[in-house]
Amino acid sequence: MILTIISLLFVTGAVLCVDLLLIILWKPEGNSLAKYVSKECPKVSVLVAARNEQATLERCINALLELEYPTTQLEIFIGNDHSTDSTLEIAQSYANKYEHISVVDIQGNLGHARGKANVLAHLANLASGDFLFITDADVAVPHGWIKGMLQGFKNNKVAIVTGVTGIENSFYQDTDWLFALGMVKVITDLGQPVTCMGNNMAISKEAYMSVGGYENIPFSITEDFELFKQVRKKKYDVVQLYRNDVFGLSLPAANIHQILNQRKRWMKGAVQLPFPIVSLLALQAIYYPAIVLLLCLVPLYGIILALLKIFLQSYFIRKAQITLHKKPINLKFIKYEAYSLLLSMASSIFYLLPIKTVWKGRKY
């Protein structure tokens, strides 16, 4: 019994130390990257993969049309991935109105690429920009997205710049994303980038071509992470931005089944990370079962540690929200902790189930 309690105290204490370090190491960049902006606007290509997105595509394209960037230096490609709804017609209606928008009805696979990766492979081959900007059809990017992301390319060694994405009209999913991306930023700032995010990222065309494009890298359901890995093998750097001008808004998963499939897809990529990072993620995952057991065995210790966790995690998320000019909702953080507990345990169980991951109507 004593050994069990000591083990539980070690796990929960270690997680609290990690949360404290996140707060200490948090360094919002503010406007410190502005000096890297070129006076000339490079040619950029925005790539959007769309599959059955009739409910969200107009929102995405309208946001792209509001970008504060000269259209003479901007091209937007929308790839229709075998949609069975009105996605293609909606995209084509915009292409008919705006010269810098092109629609590609994807047919066939290129090399190893499948699904979203295949769409992006087709679009990248058509793109003439020096930088490829990638977002999803359910994301609305901010007006300053292009200029803000370009600031991350501070030297020729930087290949990938990732923005930050929140979830619209869902406090729990939004907080979950902002917390996770906040951790990614801290680790990346320490010189150990762990991933990029395929709904809000930019990659130099040079770096993309250096790995052969999506058609020449191994297929993965986490196509953004696979591209990240291949680029890192080429000794390129990765930058994670966390600022309001690169803050995109996605739409919430419709139900718990979608959330669990999303988590399972992410976890398949996460297990390929370096061992120290996997260990940290595993520690976070087993925190909740550990704190529940501790509450049962030694209620006083469990309550104290649980309250400390809520305080530290909430403080870190609050700092992240302020960085993005979001108004913190302090009282809901206690409810978020309960949400995290249930989702973490459900995700772990769902990941271990011998069933395929469903993504955009396809099974992998």
Is 303 inside a domain boundary? yes
Q: Are 295 and 303 in contact (CB under 8 A)?
A: yes
305, 12 Cβ separation under 8 angstroms: yes
State the SS3 of 198-213: CCEEEEEHHHHHHCCC
Give the end of a domain, one of 226, 257, 288.
257
Residue 71 has pLDDT above 90, yes or no: yes
pLDDT at 47 over 70: yes
Domain assignment present for 151: yes
What does the alpha-carbon distance between residue 184 and residue 193 come to, in Å, rounded to a whole number? 7
Q: Phi and psi for 67 in degrees, rounded to 5?
A: -60, 135
Residue 158 falls inside a structural domain: yes
Q: In CATH, what number is assigned to the domain containing residue 54?
A: 3.90.550.10
Q: Out of 2-6, 50-54, 85-89, 126-130, pick the least confident.
A: 2-6
φ, ψ dihedrals at 331, nearest 5°: -65, -25
Q: What average pLDDT is seen over the chain?
A: 92
Contact 47, 116 (CB under 8 A): no
Domain shared by 81 and 199, yes or no: yes
Q: What φ, ψ does residue 335 adopt, rounded to 5°?
A: -65, -35
- Which pLDDT value is given to residue 28? 74
Is residue 212 located within the same domain as residue 273? no
Q: Are residues 224 and 76 in the same domain?
A: yes
pLDDT at 364: 82
Q: Which of 110-114, 130-134, 253-257, 280-284 has the lowest mean pLDDT?
A: 280-284
Q: At what angle do helices 171-189 and 2-25 cross, to 10 degrees?
A: 80
Using CA atoms, how far residue 153 sits from 127, 130, 193, in Å, is 19, 12, 15
- List, for residues 266-290, the tens digit of each pLDDT value: 888 888 887 777 888 888 888 989 9
Residue 300 has pLDDT above 50, yes or no: yes
Give per-residue pLDDT as tens, 123-156. 999 999 999 999 999 999 999 999 999 999 989 9
Based on the domain organization, do 60 and 171 belong to the same domain? yes
Q: Are residues 234 and 269 in the same domain?
A: no
pLDDT for the residue numbered 312? 94
pLDDT for residue 31 is more than 50: no
Q: Are residues 213 and 305 in the same domain?
A: no
**17 and 126 share one domain:** no
Decide: 258 and 269 in contact? Cβ < 8 Å: no
Identify whether 364 is part of a domain: no
Which residue, of 232, 257, 282, is where some domain finishes? 257
One domain, residues 229 and 319: no
Over residues 204-226, mean pLDDT? 96
pLDDT in tens, 56-68: 999 999 999 999 9
Overall number of domains in the chain: 2
Encode pLDDT of 320-347 as tens digits. 999 998 877 667 778 888 898 899 889 9
pTM: 0.92
Domain assignment of residue 7, given as a range: 2-27+264-352+355-359
